[in-house]
Amino acid sequence: MKRFPEEWLKRLNEMVKVARRRQGFDDIVAVVDPPFGPDHPPILRLEKAGMMVTEPIDPRAVEQMVRTGQEGPMLVVFKQAFMRVEKASARRADKKAAVRKKGAF
């Protein structure tokens, strides 16, 4: 695979910002990091309340999005990632609350 274009990375970051605002996930920090090398995919990094989730993005899907102009499938991927970090953050908060409650007795 050749080098991942900077224009695509900028477009992905803009899409993440738009999806985050539209879906109401303002408390999540989301960034698309560039690939580490020519054979690595770009990484979607999500952070909320000390919880960090990373998810690779399929470069072929990005290429298809750029070629066809259809952003819908990528927006679905972003929304699913946002939901994943929301659930992980909630589980972590519940676990901390249970430990505090258990230690109170």
Residue 67, in any domain of the structure: yes
Which pLDDT tens digit goes with each residue over 23-80?
888 889 999 999 888 888 999 999 988 888 899 998 888 888 889 988 888 888 899 9
| Beta-carbon count within 10 A of 16 CB | 22
Residue 46, in any domain of the structure: yes
How far apart are the C-alpha atoms of 94 and 75, rounded to whole Å? 29
The domain tally of the chain equals: 1
Domain that holds residue 21: 6-104
Tokens 């000390």 map to which residue? 50
What is the mean predicted confidence (pLDDT) over 72-97?
A: 86
Whether 104 shows a pLDDT value over 70: the answer reads no
Residue 41, in any domain of the structure: yes
- 2: CB partners within 8 A, 6+ apart: 38
How far apart are the C-alpha atoms of 95 and 101, rounded to whole Å? 10
pTM of the predicted structure, to 2 decimals: 0.78
With H, G, I as helix, E, B as strand and everything else as coil, classify residue 97: helix
